Structure 1
Amino acid sequence: MGKMAAALGSVATLATEPGEDAFRKLFRFYRQSRPGTADLGGVIDFSAARGSGPVAHKVVRSQLSVSSVSDHDAHRAGLQPVSSWRAYGLEGYPGFIFIPNPFLPGYQWHWVKQCLKLYSQKPNVCNLDKHMTKEDTQDLWEQSKEFLSHQSFFTVPVVCLLSATTARNRTNLNSIHSCISS
């Protein structure tokens, strides 16, 4: 219990820092932990809906309208039939639904590409809008590809489409660009 209280105390300290959203605070908290030492007691495991873990009572199965999307339309979108999806919600958070991997094999890359190339464009709302001007957020995918192609391996970009903070993340970015840049 003391370890958990210390972890929560550290998270509370992070909460007082201005200019960060809740995700960034928790991301930084868990990233600063040494591998294998982070207290994951507050992490929600959606498979706990079938178990008896500490948050199992908060995770609930959600019912989806199977007839709302035909199997044919789901397949055309690169998705498994809705009838095979497992969907979960959280008590106290109406409207929140978590669906683990509804994609057909190979289609996750397609949707990653769509999110990075298409959905980051206007008129869609992007989480970078509050950090960058409208002009700076135009064609982020191409800007990122161009930027990465002219940088040395160990240089970390100041602003990039994805947050690359280590050499490993830098390699992952290059891999993503080469895998889905068609």
Structure 2
Amino acid sequence: MSGPEEDVAEEDVELAVRLLAGTPTHEGRDDVTLRQWALAATEFGGRMTPQPVPVRIEERDGGLAAGLLARYRSRPATVELYVDTIDRAERLIEERGWRHWFPHGSVRAAALAHEQAHAWLQHAPVRAEFKRALGHTALRVGRRRLYAHVAGADELAAHAYARAACGLGRNPLLLTEALAATASCESEN
């Protein structure tokens, strides 16, 4: 019999599998493969130790309309934080009773950590290690393998890193999915 922590972990894995399943190029992939990638990406992200990279932080509005909480731009190194989306996420946490998973101020902190993870995943040695961890082989010649990119896996790793770095009770992917559903409902009304 599983306990509450195991149930939460399984729900987070299912969120990750759904994200991959909804990613173009994965339409025909089987659930076993998607689950394997989701687990590998989440584990990799949870154990990442990115080196601090100096970035400029720009706060702006317009995230709700664009479906963005934050965005990393590499040239110049900038994290755009969308304060309207962060504010909506904080209200959504209160509405859903999720404050025990996402403490006050954690949305902003998780968004920054998430984007820091994306920056770290752009480093060639880290990217190569990540591809090996995912194990998706593009080409094999004898014992040599060329590992392929898995679309969406970097998002899962960045969410897992944000959860670990900020000590969150749930994967921020839960909040991202809830925000998207809420935005969709609110735009229909």
User: Could you state the TM-score of these two structures normalised by the residue count of structure 1?
Assistant: 0.24
| Structure showing the higher helix proportion among its residues | 2
Determine which structure has more spread, i.e. the larger CA radius of gyration: 1
| Structure showing the higher strand proportion among its residues | 2
Structure with more relative contact order (C-alpha pairs < 8 Å, separation 6 or more): 2
